[in-house]
Structure 1
């Protein structure tokens, strides 16, 4: 930080593993706040009659294996080998399990870090194809990154595909 205590861009270009808290809020028929301060993930629902958030979902955990995957199919021609293989396995599993359902969301790095933090706190993982997402060090504010956020076992499968590609 500079000496006159004015914030600078460099103040926020820090690795995600320096985060101390993360959360998000969803608005709809009810308003829910999901938050972690590094000791698990907890969900709070706004009680309009009190004007306060009430703990309604303590200690949220992600399942070890998921049944949904999320990709931007429009970028399929640019995917690397492990990503292509993983998506094919999601669509056409060879182990007799049902295909996973598809959802899509895109993110820039300042969104990746909080979601990676929450994912890890809930028992999942966040992986870039090269490393743990929270170990990235951004170089600019709107930097983008590939990201695999998910259940522990699903991300282990992705890591194995990348490890196999590295060996070949």
Structure 2
């Protein structure tokens, strides 16, 4: 009975997403992050934000839009594309947002709309929580924007291994 209810809810949710959002753009012109924490970011996050501000291909920079409310920032990302980031940093090495009731719901919505959700090490929805209030870093948004972040983390990991 519970499984049937979950299946029905997922189908209804997909219908809602398809009817109201259709699909998040593959690439956006907006990035959303609290730049007040920049001094504590890891190298991949610093590099990505640098690329947003000063694109290597000479194209126009992305616009920073950060409200400070995850729901509002992710909603804008769903509508216009781009990326929402709340990375791990020196002060919060496990991230700040709660996995079960912040990271998971927004990651599910973003993926249903065609985007991605990444923690810096794995797909956000692949986390197996061990605590009710467990925290996680998150990068979620347009498929191509998150893919670029993933490539920076992979490059950083490969360089640290050598």
TM-score by length of 2: 0.67
Alignment CA distance shift 1:162-1:117 (3 Å): same
The alpha-carbon deviation at position 153 of structure 1 amounts to 0.6
Report whether the alignment pairs 1:101 with 2:91: no
Name whichever structure is richer in strand by fraction.
Answer: 1
Q: What is the aligned residue count?
A: 123
CA contact (8 A) 1:41 1:60 kept: no
Matches within 5 A, 1:16-95: 20=6, 37=10, 40=14, 42=16, 57=20, 60-95=22-57
**1:81-132 Cα shifts (integer Å, max 9, x gaps):** 1010001111111212211121234542221101100111111000000000
- Which of these two proteins has the greater Rg computed from alpha carbons? 1
Q: Which residue of 2 aligns with 1:152?
A: 143
Which residue number in structure 1 is paired with residue 112 of structure 2?
121
How far is 1:41 from its partner? 5.9
CA RMSD across the alignment: 2.3
On the 8 A contact 1:41/1:118 being kept in 2, the answer is no
5+ residue gaps, structure 1: 1-19, 22-35, 44-54
Q: Greater helix percent: which structure? A: 2
TM-score when scaled to structure 1? 0.65
Cα 1:161/1:56, change in 2 over 3 Å: closer
**Which structure has more RCO (C-alpha within 8 Å, separation ≥ 6)?**
2
Q: Distance in 1 between matches of 2:131 and 2:115?
A: 27
Q: 1-side partners of 2:47 and 2:15: how far apart?
A: 31
Deviations 1:64-89 (A, max 9, x none): 10111111112212211101000111
